[in-house]
């Protein structure tokens, strides 16, 4: 089987489309996009996120997670526009981090970040994602 080099590179760099993801991951990605846009425009996003997540605790911990990413990421977080079906690598990484936390794969979590963040930064982000997940499980609200 012979694959052209451009097809092979396209295959290696492929990310799924938004509609390919489960509802929880879509919800997180849309929240990331809207939060990023609101912060760029200096708009307080808190009340919107409370309605979006249907829980003030979940929205608070989502913002804590987002702010930790802003503080620790070596570059600005890159997300697509809210209407885009494409998924950025940052968006995919964040959903992978949440999934690793849900599955209690802490070594995988830190492995995803080991070249990007220090151990203490990675632990801080993990702690905030754990709080986000726990706030969501307490209320039985779909992320």
Token representation of residue 132: 């986000």
Confidence at residue 19, expressed as pLDDT on a 0 to 100 scale: 84
Q: How far apart, in whole angstroms, are the C-alpha atoms of residue 32 and residue 68?
A: 13
The domain limits of the chain are 21-139
* Amino acid 73: pLDDT: 95
Q: Distance between CA atoms of 87 and 26, rounded to whole angstroms? A: 10
Cβ-Cβ contacts under 8 Å for 78 (sequence gap 6 or more): 88, 89, 90
Radius of gyration, alpha carbons of the chain:
16
Q: What pLDDT, on the 0 to 100 scale, is given for residue 138?
A: 53
Give, for all 143 residues of the chain, the pLDDT tens digit.
555 666 666 555 667 788 888 888 999 999 999 999 999 999 999 999 999 999 999 999 999 999 999 999 999 999 999 999 999 999 999 999 999 999 999 999 999 999 999 999 999 999 999 999 998 765 444 45
In this prediction, residue 9 carries a pLDDT of: 60
Q: How far apart are CA 91 and CA 28, in angstroms?
A: 9
At 141 the pLDDT is 42
Q: 57 is written with which tokens?
A: 């605790």
pTM of structure:
0.84
């Amino acid at each position: 089987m012979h694959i052209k080099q451009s097809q092979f590179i396209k295959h290696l760099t492929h990310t799924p489309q938004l509609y390919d993801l489960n509802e929880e991951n879509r919800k997180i990605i849309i929240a990331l996009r809207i939060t990023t846009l609101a912060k760029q425009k200096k708009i307080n996003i808190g009340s919107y996120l409370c309605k979006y997540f249907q829980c003030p605790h979940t929205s608070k911990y989502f913002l804590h997670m987002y702010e930790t990413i802003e503080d620790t990421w070596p570059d600005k977080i890159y997300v697509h526009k809210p209407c885009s079906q494409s998924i950025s690598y940052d968006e995919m990484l964040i959903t992978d981090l949440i999934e690793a936390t849900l599955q209690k794969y802490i070594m995988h979590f830190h492995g995803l970040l080991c070249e990007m963040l220090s151990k203490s930064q990675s632990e801080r982000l993990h702690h905030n994602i754990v709080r986000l997940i726990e706030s969501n499980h307490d209320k039985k609200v779909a992320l």
